Amino acid sequence: MTDISRRKLLGFSAAAAIGASMPSLVFANKKPLSNLTLWGPPVGPSLALAHLTNNGNTRKLVDGLNFKAWRTPDQLRAGIVSGDMQISGIPSYVGANLYNKGMPVQMLNIMTGGLLYMMSSNDSVKSLEDIAGKTVTMPFKNDMPDLVFQYITAKTGMKPGVDFQLTYAATPMEVVQMMMIGKADIAILPEPAATATILKGKMGAVNVRRVLSIQDEWGKATGGPARIPQAGLLVNKALVDDHMDVLKALQADCVRSTQWVLNNPANAGILGEDYLGVKAPVVELSIPYVNLETTLAVDAKKEMEDFFTKLAELSPKIIGGKLPDADFYIGL
């Protein structure tokens, strides 16, 4: 099985993971839960988590419900492995990998149908085929954007290094900066970095376009829906065992808050600036492209398994060598 590398965990942000934590406070079901922290990366689905900590019904079951954005993959990795992060946003395939490695974790839900886009400042690039002979830049080599893009291009018969070139950067914002200074003109980016590229381009006379949705291309390549069950909440099993009532409320709040975010992008933009550290206009304008929707993991099981199967075609190690069994998917 592959290890959960720093780069892979960096991919969480690219994949819009969401997370949570509860610092070692798993009590018997009868005791009220206190000081539960939901962890999430600075991307769209975390907006729903931030919102529900202020307005959700879960607050009635938890004395001290908080949200924190994790800032580094090391922070996330340490939190998950130690159990300090009892609920954590995470790319779904990473959750499967951890589960298959024997970590006591389960997937509560999927909160986005994919938020990857091809952005370009090259007017000649209008479709996937137009990258032929050109260089594509993306963050996080061998992680979510890269894996998905590899699968899609392979299905079209294009080979990186032969039909087009691939270059990598450490973070999405590094790719954004490369596009602004002309060092890159085609990029695969997650939201909200994709929207940031457009807005920064408008300030800097760089006309960046959203060329295509990777979700759409995924659908074409797989013959399935134009949707990638990309990320959701990973929950520590002890919390599942002892506080299912909280998880039920949390799932209901996630559904409600996701809808609130979609309905109130300007308010969500401010919430995002305050909680995630991303500029409000960027958050606001990215929301229509984040494909926010909250689906209980057990209800998304088939779609997730299809996704894991496609990734395993590239390398079974990506998901820990096998499909996770049914216990991985929480049903409430």
Residues that bind another protein (CB under 8 A): 50, 53-55, 66-69, 180, 201-208, 256-257, 259-260, 263-267, 269-270, 273-275, 281, 284-285
Least separation, in Å, of the C-beta of 192 and another protein? Answer: 13
Are 114 and 218 in contact, with CB atoms under 8 Å apart? Answer: yes
In 92-141, at which residue ranges do the beta strands (DSSP E only) sit? 105-107, 109-112, 116-120, 135-139
Residues in the chain: 332
Are 212 and 221 in contact, with CB atoms under 8 Å apart? Answer: no
Identify the DSSP state of 132.
Answer: T
Identify the DSSP state of 130.
Answer: G
Q: Between 167 and 267, whose beta carbon lies closer to another protein?
A: 267
Are 204 and 180 in contact, with CB atoms under 8 Å apart? Answer: yes
CA dihedral sign, ordered 304, 309, 310, 314? positive
Task: Return the amino acid letter for 163.
Answer: D
Least separation, in Å, of the C-beta of 181 and another protein? Answer: 8
Least separation, in Å, of the C-beta of 42 and another protein? Answer: 12
Q: Give dist(CA 168, CA 317) in Å, integer.
A: 21
Least separation, in Å, of the C-beta of 207 and another protein? Answer: 4
Quick one: which H or E segment has residue 180? Answer: helix 172-180
Least separation, in Å, of the C-beta of 66 and another protein? Answer: 6
Q: Between 125 and 304, whose beta carbon lies closer to another protein?
A: 125
Least separation, in Å, of the C-beta of 64 and another protein? Answer: 12
Q: Between 272 and 320, whose beta carbon lies closer to another protein?
A: 272
Q: Between 47 and 98, whose beta carbon lies closer to another protein?
A: 47
Q: Between 17 and 50, whose beta carbon lies closer to another protein?
A: 50
Q: Between 53 and 88, whose beta carbon lies closer to another protein?
A: 53
Enter the tokens of residue 36: 């539960």
> Taking the mean position of all CA atoms in its chain, how far away is CA 245?
25
